[in-house]
Each structure stands twice: as C-alpha cells, then as structure tokens.
Amino acid sequence: MSNILPDEIPVFPLSGVLLLPRGVLPLNIFEPRYLAMVDHALKTHRLIGMIQPKDDGGIHDVGCAGRITAFEETGDGRYLITLTGVSRFRVAEETAQREGFRNVKTDLRGFALDTEPAGCLDINRSGLTTLLEEYFDLQGLSCSWERVKDAPDERLITCLSMVCPFSPQEKQALLEAVDRKSTRLNSSH
C-alpha cells in the first residue's frame, strides 16, 4: 500500500465537500493558489487531497486523495477538473506551503481496504429507497430513481454520501467511518 500515494501531496481544504475512494468530484478552480496547485499536480503525480478545514484555520486529520481524471481550461482562466477518489489518508504532518497552497505528508495506515471495491453490501434497497424518497422530498431534491435502483451498492452509498446536503461535520464522520459497512443501511435498522 505504500506506493498508492506519494509521501507528500497538495491538499485542497474545502468545507462541506466530500471525496470518497472511487467517488467522482467535479471542481471549478479559479483562485490563483489552487490553479498553481492543479498545475503542480498535473506536472507530478496528478493527485490532490481533499480535506475539511477547521474553524481555526487548521485542517482535519483525515482526507481523501483524488487523481485528476479530467481537465479543461476555460477561456476566463479557470480550470474545470474531475477528481476520482483513490484512498483516504491521515495527515502525518503539514509541510511548507508551495505557491500559496498547502501540502501534507500522508499516512495510509488503517485505509488498506480503500483500494478494493466493496461489491455487494447487502443493503435493504426497499428500505433505503423509501427513506431516500422521503429525505429527497423534504430537501426539495430530485433524483433518477431508476439509476438508484440499478446502481451497485458501493457506488450508491458513495454518491449519496458525497451529494446529500450533510453538514461538514457529518461529511467528515462519513469520511472517517472505519469501513463501508459502518455506514450501510441493512435490514435490521
């Protein structure tokens, strides 16, 4: 597992944004320091760590590294990128800033399963769909229920975790869950 991520990666502290392993996150990059971060990642390992900032200006201890899998330059100086989640990491230490963006040394202990697809999580789909329909209705959200029905368990849980309007603290708790089954909905609930 030691060669999945380099020892040091740039991080993008963004409140309320969650990236999970194998999740897909589109980003609109426009601040000069983050444009420089993307340039750096493209020249090196194409990895950026998404991490929740703390109110005091610090960052949380756990983030998720994503590989830049799509890149587009706009005519007005922005980058439209897509990150695909690779693995969660623990911040071993924050290192010197480079061109205004933050960097951390990564520790992957405890995240060995992040690189392995989960397969079937034995989700009670009927119960989950009922809860989702109620939740989406209350939140005024729309959904393609046919896509929900056809989605593999892991993809469904990952997408829901990333797109539902949870608080930053709730998203951090999802990121730090021990494994995928810790967040599952099964028939006993």
CB 32 within 8 A of CB 40: no
**Digitized pLDDT (tens) for each residue of the chain, 189 residues in all:** 446 899 999 999 999 999 999 999 999 999 999 999 999 999 999 999 999 999 999 999 999 999 999 999 999 999 999 999 999 999 999 999 989 999 999 999 999 889 887 666 678 888 888 888 898 899 888 888 888 888 888 888 898 889 888 899 999 999 998 755 544 333 333
Alpha-carbon distance 64 to 87, whole Å?
6
CB 90 within 8 A of CB 106: yes
Q: Identify the sign of the CA torsion 4, 8, 9, 14.
A: positive
Alpha-carbon distance 74 to 53, whole Å?
27
Q: What is the pLDDT of residue 129?
A: 86
CB atoms within 10 A of CB 28: 10
Q: What is the pLDDT of residue 101?
A: 97
Alpha-carbon distance 11 to 101, whole Å?
7
For 4, phi then psi, to 5°, come to: -70, -40
Q: What is the pLDDT of residue 144?
A: 87
Q: What is the pLDDT of residue 188?
A: 35
Q: What is the pLDDT of residue 181?
A: 54
CB 11 within 8 A of CB 63: yes
Of 86, 95, 41, nearest to 63 by C-alpha is: 86
Q: What is the pLDDT of residue 97?
A: 92
Alpha-carbon distance 138 to 111, whole Å?
34
Q: What is the pLDDT of residue 155?
A: 87
